[in-house]
Amino acid sequence: MVAPALTPAQSAVTEALAEWWPFLLVVGLLLLTLGYFLRVLRRPDTLQIPDRVASEQESLDGDLAEPQFGALTAGQAPPVPAAAPPLDEPGAAHQTAAEQATEPIKAGTAPPADPAPLDAEPPPEPHLVLQRAQEGAAATQEALASLTGNARAPILAAGLEVALSGLARSKPIPVVAAVVLPPLPPAVESAVYLSVAQCLDNTVRHAQATRAWIRAEHDGERLRLGVGDDGIGGVDVSGPTLTRVVRRVVEVRGKVEVQSPPGGPTLVSFEIPCSPRDY
């Protein structure tokens, strides 16, 4: 079946549509968009926006037009701020730590020292430092004596009499040393010195004593020595301090006697058979 031929008018319309259809499509989309915006602008809530803007603008203009509190009147000079009082006068303003930290450091001056932290521990008392040093020295001497047998500890180089006198002076409480001794065997001197040092340390720590004493003598055959204090007494004979003292004295064939009634005083006595050495 053959399609009917188009008339000249129909052919012209067809050619125009084929040439102008993109333009017509764009025009149609623009018309649809314009119609949508016109509908939106005609809504009641949209129409109120200009009114609200105008009302807020009027309110703002009114606030600006009203005189503010403390404002200057015509012809009035602005007030001059009062000068800050010097720092050495009463009522002077003090700088805060933050302001002082931000100020430049003047030439030739040292920067301020940082404050000590709140949790810093205070330095120990001098007598505690000395006591800990003596404890360490006593432990070292004890280990040295156990390793070398009759070897003489360095602190006893000047003799037991001098060492015990120095030990008495080093304590935080008064200690009277009445010591008259000849040179003795190294093992005996080491055992006696370490034992007396531990007894005095125990006195300082626990006895609540106000004074102590050391008495020692040698009759040519035996060493007799006593360490006492005026503390509260009640020493535990089975405690670690006296246990070490007894063990150390027994190792050099000596014996220990403890007298420490409740309320005090306390006296620890040593007796060690030994002869003076000739060197």
Secondary structure (DSSP) of 187-229: HHHHHHHHHHHHHHHHIIIII--S-EEEEEEE-SSEEEEEEEE
More confident: 98 or 262 = 262
- The whole-number average pLDDT for the span 49-66 is 54
Residue 110 is predicted with a pLDDT of: 54
Residue 112 is predicted with a pLDDT of: 56
Is pLDDT at 57 greater than 70 in this prediction?
A: no
Is pLDDT at 25 greater than 60 in this prediction?
A: yes
Residue 272 is predicted with a pLDDT of: 97
Let me know: does 146 contact 187? Beta carbons within 8 Å.
no
Residue 80 is predicted with a pLDDT of: 55
Residue 160 is predicted with a pLDDT of: 94
> Domain 127-273 is in which class?
alpha beta
Q: Which of the four pLDDT bands, split at 50, 70 and 90, describes residue 26? A: confident
